[in-house]
Amino acid sequence: MSRHAEPHRLRLPAVGHHRKPRRVAMLSVHTSPLHQPGTGDAGGMNVYIVELAKRLAAINIEVEIFTRATEGGLPPAVQLAPGVLVRHVDAGPYEGLAKEELPAQLCAFTHGVMQAWAGHRPGHYDLVHSHYWLSGHVGWLAAQRWGVPLVHAMHTMAKVKNAALAAGDTPEPAARVIGETQIVAAADRLIANTTEEADELVRHYDADPAKVAVVHPGVNLDRFTVGDGRAAARARLGLPQDALIPLFAGRIQPLKAPDVLLRAVAHLVDQDPSLRRRLFVPVVGGPSGSGLAKPEGLQKLAAKLGIADLVHFHPPVAQDRLADWFRAASVLVMPSYNESFGLVAIEAQATGTPVLAAEVGGLPVAVNDGVTGLLVPGHDPADYAARLRRFADDPGLTERMGREAARHAQFFGWDTAASGTADVYTAAMHEHRRRVRSLHG
């Protein structure tokens, strides 16, 4: 186990034998756990919520996920898995509403959550777990109204994103910074993906260190496996067997920096034109966020760089198919400007594929530098090209690092993450009850 992959660490008093919650209201305002990750606002957070909810249900904590309805005619509630219910809340127009416009719909969303709660007996929910700052504001009110603790996960933070913006990307608005600051003060517990994120909560938002718990996200180790290997995956996807395949998988937006990969490939081909015959560069994902302003921007960049024949664009794919893309790749490339954790890095490693990533956010935890992949300080395409050159010059590097990557990923199962999250819930409930008792003398 690498020094980065310590099990979940809780900055909490021992939870002892205190009661864990029976039922949790989980809030995900701006992205539905039922949506396909890899496009629009659906990404790692969707995967996180779905997998965490399923594993919590498996340890007898029921989860009801409230999310905004994004199309008409959706059933009010859908069972995602045994013990996991998704509730659709009408708040604003179904389609065409950008994430930036959602704060204006929080009142309507909160009303929908309260309506669902009103149909139950008192004490139906033991705890509220909100994801992302928009949900945090609804959770803040709901938890107060219901007399239960609020546990919040930021996933990303405005101050951190604004400190590392990609060229041409739009800064997060002041309203989000203010909103996040309010939630940090109001929450009973804050769940951070990594120790670095916990430190950022304290440094940027003045969070009480005693309220911050570190729980690493997990990976579905039943789905993301080495399977029958690279050659078989390439055959299924119709990819050349002897190619060097640096893969980008994720939402196409400046934050994720797919352009850095394209510029690195162009740099590589300029240095050594013979590599053009060996390179096959898949980009799997759809435009998202500020990337929607120029949805064809990456295709145009590939043409401008003279590598349009090497870059192959594919729409987002289901998780099982994504696992095959990971298996088929020589290396997953993640040049992101910010990642609170970077779930795809662990998913790729679980399939036996190394990762070339920016040394930002949670990626130094997800990737064991020099062992399961390579980390790059900064976003200079020449630096990425130099690392890719190592994979081109040493065909065995993918397999050697891939074996270590698959071992490393085993420490990030969702069962461990769910157990750690349940501990956070239990501690939050215990302290909340103790505070209520002291207030009432």
Annotated binding site, which residues?
A: 30, 36-37, 41-46, 99, 132, 156, 176, 251, 256, 317, 326-327, 329, 339, 347, 353
Residue stretches of the annotated binding site for UDP-N-acetyl-alpha-D-glucosamine: 36-37, 44, 251, 256, 317, 339, 347
H-helix or E-strand containing 21? Answer: none
Residue 166 DSSP class: P
Closest CA to 8 of 319, 332, 334, 341: 341
Asked if residue 403 lies in contact with residue 352, where contact means CB atoms within 8 angstroms, the answer is yes
Asked if residue 353 lies in contact with residue 327, where contact means CB atoms within 8 angstroms, the answer is yes
CA neighbours within 13 Å on the CB side: how many for 27? 31
Q: What is the residue whose two structure tokens read 């040049």?
A: 335
Residue stretches of the annotated binding site for 1D-myo-inositol 3-phosphate: 30, 41-46, 99, 132, 156, 176
Distances in Å between the Cα of 26 and the Cα atoms of 142, 340, 437 are: 11, 20, 26
Query: What 3-state class would DSSP assign to 315?
Result: coil
Point out which residues pair with 68 in neighbouring strands: 89
Residue stretches of the annotated binding site for Mg(2+): 326-327, 329, 353
Burial (CB count <10 Å: 0-12, 13-18, 19+), residue 116: middle
Tokens of 22: 């029976």
The residues near 107 (Cβ < 8 Å, ≥ 6 apart) are none
Closest CA to 178 of 138, 124, 137, 139: 137
